[in-house]
């Protein structure tokens, strides 16, 4: 009876997913998967009838059966292979999983299409990696004029930040950046963030904030934020100079963590503790209630670009801040520093990033 059902329900070119495995029917002289096996499986009554009559019988049988697809699934589910019990169970599990997938596709084609499209976007389309954009010929000519010696006077001014020709020369390769360059650049970052809702909301402290807080305490910096609510910002940036080395301090208000991004991959536990202490005192002073920082985390990321000389720490610090302000990865390295410095000079003279 089992062979009869298989012969009637199984297509001529059907083969079970487990290749190279023998089924019980492989040992029969006539394969149950062939046309002749179907003929052999017919009853004597069917054999005596003509082709048209046989077709009519088949038509009547189909009317009495359940949904064709369900019947096919049930019959396929009943197939077993001659093998060890463990392998048999494994193959059956694989088949059931496959059947479930087929049913999902038939039941929800629009969802399956959406899932496929998403997987295709994630795997088939190469992801665009942001690189450091080179300057155009015209932009390079402008920067070359800025770097010419013998010039004096002011290059740009933005709120409380000002850069002179003497300062702009600090952006020449292998030259240390000073407070004026870094403070101006951070003003540009904050201004860009405040002009749109598409970027994280940012407040930038100047280069004197951390040293003043560390050396003179919270009371000296309490009024520095009288016009800004730092707890409504996403990120607080703090450029820090430690023993002639620039690093970036970040208070991530949204994700409740404090970080220091150091292009020399140093440790900054004391600075991180200083940030948490500042936030607690600032909250108590401005909000009149304590801030619980027990669930805040402290980080000094090591999987970030590393400088390979002793002069580019300032450029790395500014670039860390610029990338974080747009929530994009740090796709830059030491080899990009000359281009980055020249781009910074262009940003300053144009007063825009």
297 lies in the same domain as 332: yes
- In total, the chain counts a number of residues equal to 353
117 lies in the same domain as 150: no
Cα four-point dihedral sign 62, 64, 67, 72: negative
State residue 149's pLDDT score: 87
* Active-site entry in 169, 245, 277, 283: 245
Higher pLDDT among residues 79 and 177, named by residue:
177
173 lies in the same domain as 294: yes
Residue 132 falls within a domain, yes or no? Answer: no
Residue 131 binned pLDDT confidence (cut-offs 50, 70, 90): confident
User: Considering its fold, how many domains does the chain have in total?
Assistant: 2
Reported as half-sphere exposure (CB side, CA atoms, 13 A), residue 36 has a value of 4
State residue 306's pLDDT score: 98
314 to 143, 239, 251, 307, 337: CA distances (angstroms):
19, 9, 19, 10, 10
State residue 341's pLDDT score: 99
- Tell me if residue 60 is catalytic: no
Taking a C-beta distance cutoff of 8 angstroms, is the pair 317, 179 a contact? no
346 lies in the same domain as 220: yes
State residue 144's pLDDT score: 97
pLDDT tens digits, one per residue of 48-60: 555 555 455 455 5
* Active-site entry in 262, 268, 318, 336: 262
Q: Which domain holds residue 306?
A: 138-350
Residue 43 falls within a domain, yes or no? Answer: yes
Residue 199 falls within a domain, yes or no? Answer: yes
Q: Report the distance separating Cα 220 and Cα 124, nearest Å.
A: 55
State residue 343's pLDDT score: 98
118 lies in the same domain as 145: no
Centroid of chain to Cα 278? 31
Report if pTM > 0.85.
no
The last residue of a domain, from among 100, 123, 146: 123
**CATH code, 291:** 3.40.395.10
Taking a C-beta distance cutoff of 8 angstroms, is the pair 317, 275 a contact? no
Residue 334 falls within a domain, yes or no? Answer: yes
Residue 131 falls within a domain, yes or no? Answer: no
The last residue of a domain, from among 123, 154, 181: 123
Q: Classify residue 272 as exposed, middle or buried by CB count within 10 Å of its CB (0-12, 13-18, 19+).
A: buried
114 lies in the same domain as 170: no
User: 34 pLDDT exceeds 50?
Assistant: no
Tokens of 46: 């069917």
200 lies in the same domain as 337: yes
Residue 145 falls within a domain, yes or no? Answer: yes
190 to 154, 226, 229, 252: CA distances (angstroms):
22, 17, 14, 15
Taking a C-beta distance cutoff of 8 angstroms, is the pair 105, 112 a contact? yes
95 lies in the same domain as 218: no
210 lies in the same domain as 171: yes
Higher pLDDT among residues 241 and 78, named by residue:
241
298 lies in the same domain as 213: yes
279 lies in the same domain as 154: yes
Averaged pLDDT of the chain? 81
Taking a C-beta distance cutoff of 8 angstroms, is the pair 73, 99 a contact? yes
State residue 14's pLDDT score: 42
Long-range contacts of 180-186 (CB under 8 A, 24+ apart): 181/314, 181/344, 181/348, 182/207, 182/239, 182/246, 182/314, 182/317, 182/318, 183/207, 183/239, 184/156, 184/158, 184/348, 185/318, 185/321, 185/322, 185/344, 185/347, 185/348, 186/237, 186/239, 186/318, 186/321
Residue 130 falls within a domain, yes or no? Answer: no
Q: Report the distance separating Cα 30 and Cα 214, nearest Å.
A: 91
243 lies in the same domain as 345: yes
State residue 30's pLDDT score: 44
Mean pLDDT of 132-149: 96
Residue 128 falls within a domain, yes or no? Answer: no
* Active-site entry in 204, 313, 318, 336: 313
pLDDT tens digits, one per residue of 332-352: 999 999 999 999 999 999 999
- Tell me if residue 313 is catalytic: yes
């Amino acid at each position: 009876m089992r062979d009869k059902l298989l012969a009637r329900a199984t297509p001529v070119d059907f083969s079970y997913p487990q290749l190279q495995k023998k089924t019980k029917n492989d040992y029969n002289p006539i394969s149950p998967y062939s046309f002749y096996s179907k003929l052999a499986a017919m009853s004597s009554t069917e054999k005596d009838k003509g082709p048209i009559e046989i077709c009519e019988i088949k038509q009547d049988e189909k009317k009495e059966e359940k949904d064709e697809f369900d019947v096919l699934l049930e019959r396929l589910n009943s197939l077993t292979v001659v093998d060890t019990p463990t392998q048999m169970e494994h193959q059956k599990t694989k088949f059931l999983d496959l059947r479930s997938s087929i049913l999902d596709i038939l039941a929800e084609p629009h969802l399956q299409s959406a899932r496929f499209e998403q997987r295709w976007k994630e795997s088939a389309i190469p992801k665009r990696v942001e690189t450091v954009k080179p300057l155009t010929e015209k932009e390079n000519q402008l920067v070359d004029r800025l770097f010419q010696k013998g010039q004096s006077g002011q290059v740009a001014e933005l709120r409380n930040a000002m850069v002179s020709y003497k300062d702009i020369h600090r952006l020449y390769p292998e030259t240390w950046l000073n407070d004026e360059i870094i403070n101006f650049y951070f003003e540009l970052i904050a201004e860009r963030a405040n002009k749109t809702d598409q970027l994280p909301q940012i407040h930038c402290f100047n280069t004197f904030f951390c040293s003043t807080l560390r050396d003179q305490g919270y009371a000296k910096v309490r009024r520095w934020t009288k016009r800004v609510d730092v707890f409504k910002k996403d990120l607080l940036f703090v450029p820090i100079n430690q023993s002639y080395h620039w690093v970036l301090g970040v208070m991530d208000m949204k994700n409740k963590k404090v970080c220091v991004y150091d292009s020399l991959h140093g440790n900054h536990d004391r600075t991180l503790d200083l940030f948490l202490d500042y936030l607690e005192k600032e909250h108590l002073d401005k909000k009149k209630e304590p801030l619980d920082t027990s669930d805040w985390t402290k980080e000094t990321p090591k999987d970030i670009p590393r400088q390979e000389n002793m002069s580019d720490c300032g450029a790395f610090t500014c670039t860390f801040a610029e990338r974080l302000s747009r929530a994009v990865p740090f796709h830059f390295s030491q080899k990009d520093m000359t281009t980055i410095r020249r781009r910074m000079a262009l940003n300053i003279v144009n007063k825009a990033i």
